[in-house]
Chains A and B, each alone.
Chain A
Amino acid sequence: MEYIGEHLLPGQIGHFAIILGFTTSLLAAIAYFFAAQKRNLPEYQSWRRIGRWAFTIHGLSTFTVIYCIFHVMLNKYYEYQYAWAHVNDDLPFHYTFPAFWEGQEGSFLLWSFWHIVLGWILIATAKKWEAPVMSAFSLVQFFIGSMILGVYFGSGESEIHIGSNPLMLLRDVMDAPIFAQADYVEKINGNGLNPLLQNYWMIIHPPVLFLGFASTIVPFCYAIAGMWTGEHKAWLRPVTRWSLFSGAILGLGILMGGAWAYEALSFGGYWAWDPVENMSLVPWILLVAGIHTNLIARSTGYSIRSTYLFYIFTFILVLYSTFLTRSGILGDTSVHAFTEMGLENQLVLFIMTFLLLGLGLFVKRYKTIPAPQKEESTPSKEFWMFIGALVLLFSSILITVSTSLPVYNKIAELFNPAHEALNIKDPVEHHNKYQLWIAVLIGFLSGFAQYLRFREFNWKKYASKFTIHSAAALLIAGVLTYLTTQWIRVGAWQYLLLLFSAFFAVVSNIDYLITFLRGNLKAGGSALSHIGFGLMVVGIVASGLNKRHISHNKFAQQNILDAESLEKNVLLMRGEPLFMNGYLVTYERDTMIGNERIFEVNYDKLDKNGQVEESFQVFPVALYNNEVTKVAAFNPSTKRYLDKDIFTHIANLPSVEADAQARKAREDSLNYQLFEGLIGDTIFTSSSYAVIESVNRQPSHPDYVPQEKDLTIGVKVAFRQVEVDTVWYAEPMLVLRGNLMYNYPAQINELSTKVRVSEKIIERYFPTDEQLDYTGFRFTEGQQVNFNGYQITFDGFDLKPTHPDYETVEGDIVVGAKLSIVSLESGKQYQARPIYLIRNNRPFNLKSQLDELGLHFRFLNIDPNQKTIEINIAQVAPERAKVPIEIADNSFRSDFIVLEAIIFPGINLFWIGTLLMLFGLTLSIFYRRQRKAAAA
C-alpha cells in the first residue's frame, strides 16, 4: 500500500546514523587500542588520528539520531512509534524533553550524549592518557550503541533482536486496522506524556543524574589505562579532578531525585529506600570511598590497589543499576522501574564484559602495583581514612545485597523452579538499622581523621594537640546534642549516639577549618563536605524521627482498629473547618486549570487560648490524566519554615470526583423520584420539602458551556427542612443540542440530595404547534376577550419589540403585540409579546408563551384597513404545565477531600547539609593543595 502523509526521511537518516555511530564507536575503540599499544612508537600518531576521527564521527552520528527523534517528536509525526508513544497534540514544547527520556531508548541516548561530551573533553585534555582511556571509553559507547540498534536475527520463536530502535514506524511495530487506510497518519493522535512526569523536575533531574552516571566512566577508564600502561602512580593525579566532578554531579542528581519526590510526588519524604534510589546511591558511595583512597595514594603511595577497585566497581555498579532499573526485574519491589523490553541479556553481557575487563586486568597486574613495604602508622591520617573507605564499602555492600534479592530469586528459580521468592520484610527499617551504624562511624572518623596528619612520623609531639582538639570537639558536640533533645524527640540511645557523632563531625571540621587551615576556604573543600555530612545526618534524625502526621482528629475519628490504625488521613468537608493538632484546617475551594485541579486549603494556627496566631494557605493539586477523565496523581503543597515544613497532600477525592466512570456509575445508581408541580407548589421528599420557584429559559450551570442553537431550560428549586432556617437552592438544567439531550443535575451536599430536570419537560415546555389547539381572535386596540378564565387585552403595538428568538436583520418589518392577561380566578396580571414580521416579503411570526399558565400566543396577521390584528391563543392542559423534576435524596456528599498533612522538623538541615557536601566536592576540583611541597 502507498501511504499518504508519512515523513520517512528523518527515519532513514536516523537509521543510517545509528549504524554509523555504532560502527565508528567500534572503530574508535580498535584504533585507540593500537594507539595505546604503540604509544612509544611512530605509528602512535596515525592510530590516534583514526581514533579521534572515528570518535568524532561517532559523536556526530549520535547527535544526529537525537536530532531526528526530536524532529519527529516536535513535529508530532505519529507515524513514528516513539513520537506516538510519548507525545501528543496538546503537549507543550518544554515537555518534549521529558517525553524524550521517558522511554528507554531516549534515556540511553541521553547517557550516550553525556559520554560523547565528556569524551571530547578528554580528547582535548587527556594528553598521553588519551589513547588508553578513549579505547575503553569507546568500547562502552559500542555497547550503549547496541541498545538502540534494533537488528533482528532469525524469525518466529527463535528470533533474536539486538537493541530497540527508537525510529521505528508505528505500522511496523503494531498491527491495527487503521493501517489499512492510506491516510492513517492524519487520523491518529499520540499517547502523550504520562501526567506524573509533566513536571519541571522531570526536565532538570534526569539530565543531571545521567551526567552523574555518565561521568563515572572517566575514573573507570583512567583505572583501566593505569593498569594497562603499568603507570600505577601517574594516573592518580589527572583522575582526581574527574572523580570529584563525578561525585558532585552524581550526588546532585540523586539529591534532585529526593527533592522531586519530596516536593512534587506524594511519597511523603525525600528518601524511601526504593531499589531504584538505592542503586543510584551505591555507585556514589563507592565513588566517595574511591576519592578517599585516591587522596591517600597520592599523598602516601598506599591504597593504590583499593583505588583501582573502587573506581572499577563504581562504574560496574552504575551498569548494574542500569540493569536493575531497565530489566523489569524490580517489578515486585520498586514503584518506579522501567518495564521489560527484552534487553536483559544484552545488559548482562554489557556488565560482564566490563567486570571481566576490569578485574582481569587487576589480577594480571596485581603483583606490579606498588605498595609500600612498611605498614601505615596507626595514628596517621591515611590509616583512618582507609578505615573510613572500608566502612563506606560495607555500606554499599549491605545496600546492594538487600536490593539484589529479586536477582537472587530469579537465579535461584532457574535452578529450582519451586524456589520461594525472598524479600525484605520492612525495607525502610532494615536499611535504617544498618546505615545508622555506618553513619555513626563515618561521623566519628571524619572528625578524628581530619585532625591526624599524613605519614605521621612524630606522634609523640603531635598527640597532645590532637587530644586537646578532639576532646574540645567531643565536649561541644555533647552540648549540642543535649540542646537538640530539647528541640526534638530523639528517643533511643542509638539515635542519640548518631546525633552526637554527627555533631562531632560538624564541630571538629569547623575547628579544623579555622585553626588548621586558618580559615582558608579554598583549601577547605574536604572540611566543608564533612560539615555538610554532619548537618545532613542531623537533618535526617530531626525530620525522619520527628516526622509527625498532624492530619488526625481523635474525636472525629473513633477508629475501630485504634491500636494499629495509622491515622494518617482526615476528611475535610468544603467550608467546614476541622481542628487537628493545633491547627484549624479548612478546605476552602478548588479550581480546575487544564488538567490540574488546584485545592485551596487554609490553615489557622491556634494558640493556647484558641486565638488565631498565624494563617496560611497551601495549594495541593489533583492531576488528571490527559483525557481529564480520571485522577492520575496527587501533588503535594508545602509550607516552609526555617525550622520545619508542613507538607500537605490530598490522599483521595470522592470517587465521583476522581473518576468519570465512577461518576456515571453513581449517577446510575441513584434512586431518583419524579415530582411534578406548578410553579410555587411545594413538594415533599423523605427528608425535606421543596418549592419550585421558577423555570428559566436562560439558565446557567457550572459544567455547562453554552453553544449556539442550544435549547436550554432550568428549574430553580428551594429546599428547606423543618425547624431549620437555611434555604438551599438547586438549579438543575437540561440542554437540547440537535437531537442530543444533556442533563446537568444539581447537588445539595448538605442534604445529600441531587436534583435534575426530568426529560418530560421537553414536550411540555417546547410543544410543537400540532400539540396545541389554537383558537383565533381578532382584536382592535384596547379590546378585551375572555379565554379559559383569563381576560386578555390588546394594549397596542410595540414597534421595537424584543424576543428571545428574534435577531434583527436589515430590511425586516417587525411589530409586536402588547397583550396583558388577568387571571379571573386569582386576579394576577401577566404580559405577553408575540411578534409578527415580514422578512424578504414573506410573513413570519414568533410565539410568546407564559410557562406558569401554559398559555401560548401567536401574532398571525395585521389588517391595516380595519385596524385589527389576528391572534391565536392556546392553553396546554393544566397537568401538562406542571414542572417535572426528579429528586434523589440518597446521593452521597461529594464536596470533601481526604487530606494527609505531615510536619517535617529540621528538614532544611538535610538540604543545607547535602548541598554543602556537594559544594565541598566542587571546591576541591578547583583547589588541590600542593601536597608535593608539603611532603618534601
Chain B
Amino acid sequence: MKKSHIIALIVVAVSIGLMLSLTGDVNTYANFEQATESGDRVKIVGQLSKDKEMYYKPEEDPNYFSFYLKDDVGTERKVVLLSEKPQDFEMSEQIVLTGSMKGEEFVATDILLKCPSKYKDEEIYIKKEQSEI
C-alpha cells in the first residue's frame, strides 16, 4: 500500500469523524415550549413584546435585565438576561437568545440583536436654521 493511500484513508476517516462530531454542535432554534421540555441550553429566536415591561435598574443590579419575548410560534415568556441592557435594544427586529428555562423564566446569557439598517428608515435631514440651537 502506498503512503499516499494511507494518508488519503486517514484524511477520509478524520473527515467523517469530524463531520459526525460537528452535528453534535449543531442545533435548530428552539421555542419556549421545547426549552421547557428539554431543560437544556438552547437558542431561541423571537421578537420583543414592546407592550410589556422592560426592567433594567443598574442601581439595583447591573447584571439583571428582564423583558418579554414572543417566540416564533407566538408563545410569550419573561426573559432574564444576566448582563447589561444592550444598546438599541428597543429597535431590534429580531432577537436571538442563548440560555435555558428556569421555572417560568428564560434565563439568557447571550444575546444577538438584528437591527434595521441605519438607512432603511430613510428621512432627509433638513439643515437647521442658524438662529436655532
Query: Bound pair: A and B?
Result: yes
The interface of chain A, by Cβ under 8 A from chain B, is 84-85, 88-89, 170, 174, 176, 178, 186-191, 194, 331-333, 335, 339, 375-376, 378, 383, 387, 390, 394, 397-398, 401-402, 405, 420-426, 430, 433-434, 557, 559, 561, 564-571, 631-634, 651-652, 654-655, 705, 892-893, 896, 898, 900
Given contacts A190-B125, A652-B58, contact A332 B28 (CB under 8 A): no
The complex places the Cα of A331 from the Cα of B120 at a distance, in Å, of 15
Closest to A552 in B: B63
Contact in complex: B114, A898 (CB < 8 Å): no
**Residues of A contacting B109 in the complex (Cβ-Cβ under 8 angstroms):** 564, 566
A-B contact pairs, 26 of them (CB 8 A): A89-B127, A186-B127, A187-B127, A375-B2, A387-B7, A401-B19, A402-B25, A421-B29, A422-B26, A422-B27, A424-B25, A424-B26, A425-B27, A426-B98, A430-B25, A433-B25, A559-B64, A561-B107, A565-B63, A566-B109, A568-B84, A569-B58, A651-B83, A651-B84, A654-B59, A898-B84
Given contacts A561-B107, A571-B58, contact A339 B117 (CB under 8 A): yes
**Residues of B contacting A390 in the complex (Cβ-Cβ under 8 angstroms):** 7, 11
The interface of chain B, by Cβ under 8 A from chain A, is 2-4, 7, 11, 14-15, 18-19, 22, 25-29, 41, 43, 45, 56-59, 61-64, 80, 82-85, 87, 94, 96, 98, 102, 107, 109, 112, 114, 117-120, 122, 124-128, 133
Number of A-B contacts (CB under 8 A): 140
Given contacts A191-B125, A421-B29, contact A566 B58 (CB under 8 A): no
Closest to B80 in A: A561
**Residues of A contacting B126 in the complex (Cβ-Cβ under 8 angstroms):** 178, 187-189
The complex places the Cα of A394 from the Cα of B11 at a distance, in Å, of 9
The complex places the Cα of A568 from the Cα of B19 at a distance, in Å, of 35
The complex places the Cα of A378 from the Cα of B2 at a distance, in Å, of 11
Given contacts A188-B124, A390-B11, contact A559 B63 (CB under 8 A): yes
**Residues of B contacting A339 in the complex (Cβ-Cβ under 8 angstroms):** 117, 120
Contact in complex: A331, B118 (CB < 8 Å): no
The complex places the Cα of A176 from the Cα of B124 at a distance, in Å, of 8
The complex places the Cα of A652 from the Cα of B59 at a distance, in Å, of 11
**Residues of B contacting A426 in the complex (Cβ-Cβ under 8 angstroms):** 25, 98
The complex places the Cα of A320 from the Cα of B64 at a distance, in Å, of 40
Of A170, A186, A398, A425, which one neighbours B26 at CB under 8 angstroms? Answer: A425
Closest to A551 in B: B62
Closest to A752 in B: B59
**Residues of A contacting B19 in the complex (Cβ-Cβ under 8 angstroms):** 401
Closest to B100 in A: A564
Contact in complex: B41, A568 (CB < 8 Å): no
The complex places the Cα of A686 from the Cα of B124 at a distance, in Å, of 49
Closest to A627 in B: B125
Closest to A405 in B: B26
Closest to B81 in A: A566
The complex places the Cα of A651 from the Cα of B85 at a distance, in Å, of 8
**Residues of B contacting A333 in the complex (Cβ-Cβ under 8 angstroms):** 112
The complex places the Cα of A900 from the Cα of B84 at a distance, in Å, of 10
A626: min CB distance to chain B, Å: 9
Contact in complex: A331, B59 (CB < 8 Å): no
The complex places the Cα of A178 from the Cα of B117 at a distance, in Å, of 23
Contact in complex: B83, A568 (CB < 8 Å): yes
Given contacts A375-B2, A561-B80, A564-B107, contact A421 B28 (CB under 8 A): yes
The complex places the Cα of A378 from the Cα of B4 at a distance, in Å, of 11
Contact in complex: B3, A425 (CB < 8 Å): no
Given contacts A174-B122, A188-B125, A189-B127, contact A422 B83 (CB under 8 A): no
**Residues of A contacting B83 in the complex (Cβ-Cβ under 8 angstroms):** 566, 568-569, 651
A382: min CB distance to chain B, Å: 12
Closest to A186 in B: B127
A144: min CB distance to chain B, Å: 23
**Residues of A contacting B56 in the complex (Cβ-Cβ under 8 angstroms):** 652, 655
**Residues of A contacting B14 in the complex (Cβ-Cβ under 8 angstroms):** 394
**Residues of B contacting A423 in the complex (Cβ-Cβ under 8 angstroms):** 26-29, 43
Closest to A654 in B: B58
Closest to A425 in B: B27
The complex places the Cα of A655 from the Cα of B57 at a distance, in Å, of 9
Contact in complex: B85, A375 (CB < 8 Å): no
The complex places the Cα of A641 from the Cα of B117 at a distance, in Å, of 39
Of B11, B61, B94, B119, which one neighbours A85 at CB under 8 angstroms? Answer: B119
The complex places the Cα of A190 from the Cα of B80 at a distance, in Å, of 39
**Residues of B contacting A631 in the complex (Cβ-Cβ under 8 angstroms):** 87
Given contacts A188-B124, A425-B25, A557-B62, 14 further A-B contacts (CB under 8 A): A178-B124, A187-B127, A383-B3, A394-B18, A398-B18, A424-B27, A425-B41, A430-B25, A569-B62, A569-B83, A569-B84, A633-B87, A652-B85, A654-B59
Contact in complex: A566, B63 (CB < 8 Å): yes
Of A376, A422, A569, A892, which one neighbours B28 at CB under 8 angstroms? Answer: A422
Contact in complex: B63, A568 (CB < 8 Å): yes
A411: min CB distance to chain B, Å: 15
**Residues of A contacting B84 in the complex (Cβ-Cβ under 8 angstroms):** 568-569, 651-652, 898, 900
Contact in complex: A566, B29 (CB < 8 Å): no
**Residues of A contacting B87 in the complex (Cβ-Cβ under 8 angstroms):** 631-634
Contact in complex: A571, B11 (CB < 8 Å): no
The 3 tightest CB contacts between A and B, nearest first, are A420-B28, A651-B84, A898-B62
The complex places the Cα of A191 from the Cα of B127 at a distance, in Å, of 11
The complex places the Cα of A390 from the Cα of B133 at a distance, in Å, of 64
**Residues of A contacting B26 in the complex (Cβ-Cβ under 8 angstroms):** 405, 422-425
Which residue, of B7, B87, B117, has the highest number of chain A Cβ atoms within 10 A? B87
**Residues of A contacting B127 in the complex (Cβ-Cβ under 8 angstroms):** 89, 186-189
The complex places the Cα of A900 from the Cα of B62 at a distance, in Å, of 10
**Residues of A contacting B117 in the complex (Cβ-Cβ under 8 angstroms):** 339
Given contacts A405-B26, A422-B28, contact A896 B58 (CB under 8 A): yes
**Residues of B contacting A898 in the complex (Cβ-Cβ under 8 angstroms):** 58, 62, 84
B55: min CB distance to chain A, Å: 12
B102: min CB distance to chain A, Å: 8
The complex places the Cα of A834 from the Cα of B58 at a distance, in Å, of 54
A649: min CB distance to chain B, Å: 11
**Residues of B contacting A634 in the complex (Cβ-Cβ under 8 angstroms):** 87
Which residue, of B4, B43, B109, B125, has the highest number of chain A Cβ atoms within 10 A? B125
The complex places the Cα of A339 from the Cα of B14 at a distance, in Å, of 37
A438: min CB distance to chain B, Å: 11
Of A376, A566, A900, which one neighbours B82 at CB under 8 angstroms? Answer: A566
Contact in complex: A335, B61 (CB < 8 Å): no
Contact in complex: B61, A189 (CB < 8 Å): no
The complex places the Cα of A331 from the Cα of B115 at a distance, in Å, of 9
The complex places the Cα of A652 from the Cα of B61 at a distance, in Å, of 12
The complex places the Cα of A327 from the Cα of B43 at a distance, in Å, of 24
Of A187, A571, A900, which one neighbours B59 at CB under 8 angstroms? Answer: A571
The complex places the Cα of A430 from the Cα of B80 at a distance, in Å, of 25
Closest to B24 in A: A425
**Residues of A contacting B18 in the complex (Cβ-Cβ under 8 angstroms):** 394, 398, 434
The complex places the Cα of A328 from the Cα of B133 at a distance, in Å, of 39
**Residues of B contacting A375 in the complex (Cβ-Cβ under 8 angstroms):** 2-4
The complex places the Cα of A567 from the Cα of B82 at a distance, in Å, of 8
Contact in complex: B61, A557 (CB < 8 Å): yes
Of B25, B59, B96, B102, which one neighbours A332 at CB under 8 angstroms? Answer: B96
A100: min CB distance to chain B, Å: 16
**Residues of B contacting A387 in the complex (Cβ-Cβ under 8 angstroms):** 7
B73: min CB distance to chain A, Å: 12
B97: min CB distance to chain A, Å: 12
The complex places the Cα of A725 from the Cα of B59 at a distance, in Å, of 25
**Residues of B contacting A892 in the complex (Cβ-Cβ under 8 angstroms):** 57, 59
Closest to B94 in A: A332
B40: min CB distance to chain A, Å: 9
**Residues of A contacting B3 in the complex (Cβ-Cβ under 8 angstroms):** 375-376, 378, 383
A396: min CB distance to chain B, Å: 13
**Residues of A contacting B22 in the complex (Cβ-Cβ under 8 angstroms):** 398, 401-402
The complex places the Cα of A190 from the Cα of B15 at a distance, in Å, of 52
Closest to B108 in A: A564
The complex places the Cα of A191 from the Cα of B126 at a distance, in Å, of 10
**Residues of B contacting A331 in the complex (Cβ-Cβ under 8 angstroms):** 114
